[in-house]
Amino acid sequence: MDAAVLPEIIGFHMESWLENAGIVGLTRILDEDDYAIKDNQLSIKTSALKTIDKSFFKFFIDTYGKYTRYQQIINWLPKIEATIQMDFENYNFQEYETYVKWFNDNVKYFVKSGSYRRMRPLVHPEIPIEKYLDTVTKLFKGLSKKKRWEDTADNPEQELAMLFAELKKIVQYFADDTSKRYFLAKNLVYRYVNKGWDGISFLNSQSKIVDIYQDYYNYFVQPVIDFLSESHRKGKIICATCGRKMRSKEGSGYSFLNGMGYDYGKKNSNAYMFNSDQFLCPVCRLMYSAVPAGFAYNLAGNHGIFVNYTGQSLENLRNANDGILDTLTETFRRTDNNVSPWGAFYETFRKGFNKSSQYTLANTQVINRKDEHYYFSLIPEITANVLKKIEKIKINKKKDATLLSALNKALIPEYRGIQYCSIYDEVIKRLLNQTNMNSLLNDMLLLKASNKQNIYITATQILYVVEINVLLFNELGVIKLDSKVLSKIHGYGMEVAKGYRTNPNKAKALAYQLLQALKMQNQEKFMNILFNCYLYQQKIIPSAFQQIRNTEVFNQLGYAFIAGLISGEEKGRVQNEK
């Protein structure tokens, strides 16, 4: 076997979205001193391979670890210590119940998880943590009766002192660096890493290596070192990604990547003449292991996004995606909410546009990883132009809220199989596909008009969707309609609603009838209902509705009018539209 000197650097070139996601992931995993970017190439120092296993898990811990149940456990250490120092003075049953809930929702839940059970032998096995947990459970049970707290003769302070002493031991155990290193890393791989790849290394249920760091190193890193340390001039197979020669025993397939390739060891019939040419060298396999780090995920880990925005350079690709991740995690920090990656995508677009009027995402590929599938979109120039126009329209005095950002908290529960459908997400997805909002507006108005409970949308937000819809239609050249006309028509709807103040249900019924006429594309019926309404209120029907030949113009004016009609009894379920 010919020996070769281990090169000082490894080069990775921009290719398709999958390779690009892996490259961006590597830049996030490694320290800045360990790599360099020039044009469309990433160069990594081979010396970084010694610690890349630690860097891999550290990225996920530092980025997403703060928003886990594990973090909720260790966050309570200062609170527990403060309660102990107060010697339970003025401690009451209500405060006790908050600890019970915290313990059940976080500590008990976590110790039942596979992450805990699998990693427990590696995390201070000499500490009798199970004994502490049993003691705490018994003490909680003994203190659970409220009568004990009301009986002045029964003093629970001694039991409380024992309880909090044990709680402190438990939390200190989890707050230890070794606990964080293993428990948190193992927990996060099941939320984020397995979205990119699965079934191998520490994600192989049959793996006998308990230490996930060692498992990753053995499977992904050591083969790279071995591969680069040897000559492959006589290699008979070629890596389908980078073209490196290798021996057959060094090659692997793409099947470990979710939704990519097949297992040629089990399904060689998928290959031409039963001979697969889809081989992957160890170097590229290491790059693909970083694909989950290249995406930006929400807190639940069920929706990730990667923007394949090259701008002819790797630097632009990295900056665009880092902007999305930074915006996403900053929103996590401020709100502690499971925000959508679409929101981070739009905020990144806004920042780029505000820096330069030449900035555009037109023709950029957007990849979403959601519901165990990849979804691909190409941002049309029309969509990019609509987003720019949305950004220019400010809806508050501070001039920081736009038509789109105002939809941030608009939700419809149990909508088309989705637990909470985000109007924000729906609008962006439709813009990317150049699909109008008519069906969405019909549903929003129908739910609002039918008094359906727990609809977290306002009539004003519905008007914003109409305005965005009109911007899209205008850009497509379907219609030419000024948003000022929409606002005027919306005001007419509000005026009619005032005429039904004594009987607001009549306004809702009217809105429902008008909406049905719009849905059937029956302008004549719509106008007849409107004439009767104005006749009943002894008012003159606005001229804006008369002599409209364009059906789509009529639809948008109708939506704006109905949104005004149902705004009379605004519940304000969306507390902050900005």
What pLDDT is stored for residue 110 in this prediction?
94
Q: Are residues 435 and 541 in the same domain?
A: yes
Q: Could you tell me the pLDDT band of residue 271, with boundaries at 50, 70 and 90?
A: very low
Q: Domain ends where: 293, 326, 343? A: 293
Q: Is residue 58 scored above 60 in pLDDT?
A: yes
Q: Is residue 531 scored above 80 in pLDDT?
A: yes
Q: Could you tell me the pLDDT band of residue 292, with boundaries at 50, 70 and 90?
A: very high
Specify if 492 maps to a domain: yes
Q: Are residues 428 and 315 in the same domain?
A: no
Q: Is residue 257 scored above 90 in pLDDT?
A: yes
- Strand-pair partners of 38: 41
Q: Are residues 438 and 547 in the same domain?
A: yes
Cβ(195)–Cβ(257) under 8 Å? no
Q: Domain ends where: 293, 320, 348? A: 293
Q: Could you tell me the pLDDT band of residue 578, with boundaries at 50, 70 and 90?
A: very low
Specify if 394 maps to a domain: no
Q: Are residues 318 and 367 in the same domain?
A: yes
Specify if 44 maps to a domain: yes
Instruction: Report the relative pairing of strands 296-297 and 303-308 from DSSP bridges.
Output: antiparallel
Q: Could you tell me the pLDDT band of residue 265, with boundaries at 50, 70 and 90?
A: low
Q: Are residues 408 and 500 in the same domain?
A: yes
Q: Are residues 451 and 528 in the same domain?
A: yes
The pTM (predicted TM-score) of the whole model is 0.86
What pLDDT is stored for residue 276 in this prediction?
54
The predicted model gives 532-554 an average pLDDT of 85
Q: Are residues 282 and 412 in the same domain?
A: no
Q: Domain ends where: 154, 187, 220? A: 187
* DSSP per-residue codes, 495-514: HHHHTTTT-HHHHHHHHHHH
Helices then strands, counting H and E runs in the chain, come out as 26, 11
Q: Are residues 46 and 126 in the same domain?
A: no
Place of tokens 């990119």: 196
Specify if 136 maps to a domain: yes
Specify if 391 maps to a domain: no
Q: Are residues 282 and 430 in the same domain?
A: no
Q: Are residues 41 and 117 in the same domain?
A: no
Instruction: Calculate the CA dihedral of residues 137, 138, 143, 144 and round it to 10 degrees.
Output: 60
What's the number of domains the chain is made of? 4
The predicted model gives 233-241 an average pLDDT of 87
Q: Are residues 271 and 338 in the same domain?
A: no
Q: What's the domain range around 528?
A: 400-578
Q: Are residues 572 and 473 in the same domain?
A: yes
359 or 22, which is more confident: 22
| Nearest C-alpha neighbor of 22 from the set 229, 280, 244 | 280
CB-side exposure of 66: number of CA atoms within 13 Å? 13
What pLDDT is stored for residue 397 in this prediction?
67
Specify if 160 maps to a domain: yes
Specify if 35 maps to a domain: yes
Specify if 387 maps to a domain: no
